[in-house]
A and B are shown apart, each in its own frame.
Chain A
Amino acid sequence: MAEVKLIATTDSLFCARIEWALKLKGVEYEFIEVDIRNKSPLLLKYNPVHKKVPVLVHHGKPIAESLVILEYIEETWKNNPLLPEDPYERSMARFWAQFAGDKCLWGAWEAAKLAEGEGKVKAIESTQESLAFLEKQIEGKKYFGGEQIGFLDLAVGGIPHSLSAMEEAGGVKLLDAERFPSLHKWAQNFIEVPVIKECIPPREQLLNYFNTSISYIRSLSVAKP
């Protein structure tokens, strides 16, 4: 029985983050794919609170929430550190990881899912303002972590890839190369790193998921009297 199991799906950037961290640290693990739409028994057992992936199970004990799992991996396998040693730099990495998720990823989803209108325009503006902050953080650097991939690279890593599929499904342009050249360059480099490339959710799967979700969401607002 594997000591480290990852309960996950192949189309989630949150799961990809965990695989990247485990691979960067050379940790062997068993990938257990689950069907989140049908709430597999494994999911209900190991993440009864949220019933979501990813869940890392180490020595039989589960850990959920991707950023929490990343911190656990960092503290348990100390080789190839992902977080800086300095407490201030660590707090910056944590702050920007949260920001990237809340404001860039979820902001982009708001912008993508809305039908044309004032709400969509505002959501696009707000997301691009957030992306501008992230652009400043990567300017002049190879990775957010400096010369090596770090915690913040893993936290932000799947976002440009997801955004590209969201943009196509939602009919929006968010992360354009002209306005965000450093983010663009970083994203292109990041995705070519072999360990990263092996686990990136396939674009077709993401596009399919976003297309279906957006159609459904937009049909609900049309259906309202």
Chain B
Amino acid sequence: MADEVILLDFWPSMFGMRVKIALAEKGIEYEYKEENLWNKSTQLLQMNPVHQLIPVLIHNGKPVCESLVMVEYIDEVWKDKSPLLPTDPHQRAHARFWTDFVDKKVFDVSKRIWSTKIEENESTKKELIETFKILEGKLRDKPYFGGETFGFVDLALITFYSRFYSAEMFGNFSIEAEFPEINAWAKRCMQKDTVAKSIPDQKKVYEFLVQMRKQLGLD
């Protein structure tokens, strides 16, 4: 019986992009369903009753939620092609530590930049700059965070590339200018077809966030 794979997503979601990259890396065919977060489908509410958020992976009718849990699931089920995590337990722990770091220090922190008044962004910006300094330190002399090949940490972080332009406009700092190694790493990742086709245009994302901020009365 063929696998039925469905991804419930919302195009600007950096979490959804992670799953798209993972599915593309493994060459998995799936049905993509765009959700309207202001009018969530019954399917989304049934498949993720706990958080009612995207992305949700539905594999043969069973839902998996939380992007990094989903990526590990994809890696374990479709284990014969393009491994996303290393095999050695210590390297796997290292990868999981850094993806947790990305979630807490990049994604969680940067959410404040899109969702607060511009005047309040200074301390958030400082935190992000500190975080990127640490990440750039980890990257030193290596093409990818995973070493010679694109891996779990690269996948977890690269989706933030879609927000580089927005960070510059709202946060008044340029990741490209201040962190040349991170910028070079991002461009390297974007040369991979699986990554490039999973990440929307930076300016399109910026326009979306501008609209959101207007609706929230932030600008």
Contacts and interface: CB of A to CB of B under 8 A. Distances in A.
Interface of A: 49, 58, 61, 63-65, 67-69, 71-72, 75-76, 87-88, 90-91, 94-95, 98-99, 133
Contacts of A88: 59, 62, 64, 73
Nearest to B88: A75
Given A87-B76, A90-B73, A90-B76, 7 more contacts: A72-B90, A72-B92, A87-B73, A91-B64, A94-B66, A95-B66, A95-B69
Interface in B178-210: none
20 contacts: A49-B101, A49-B134, A63-B97, A64-B97, A65-B96, A65-B100, A68-B97, A68-B100, A69-B93, A72-B90, A72-B93, A76-B89, A87-B73, A88-B59, A91-B64, A91-B73, A94-B66, A94-B72, A95-B65, A98-B69
B50 interface: yes
A94 B65 CA distance: 10
Nearest to A73: B89
Contacts of A61: 90
Interface residues of B, number: 22
Contacts of B90: 58, 61, 63, 72
B77 interface: yes
Interface of B: 50, 59, 62, 64-66, 69-70, 72-73, 76-77, 89-90, 92-94, 96-97, 100-101, 134
A85 to B, nearest CB: 10
Contacts of B94: 63
Of A71, A95, A98, A99, chain B has the most CB atoms within 10 Å of the CB of: A95
Nearest to B101: A49
A72 to B, nearest CB: 4
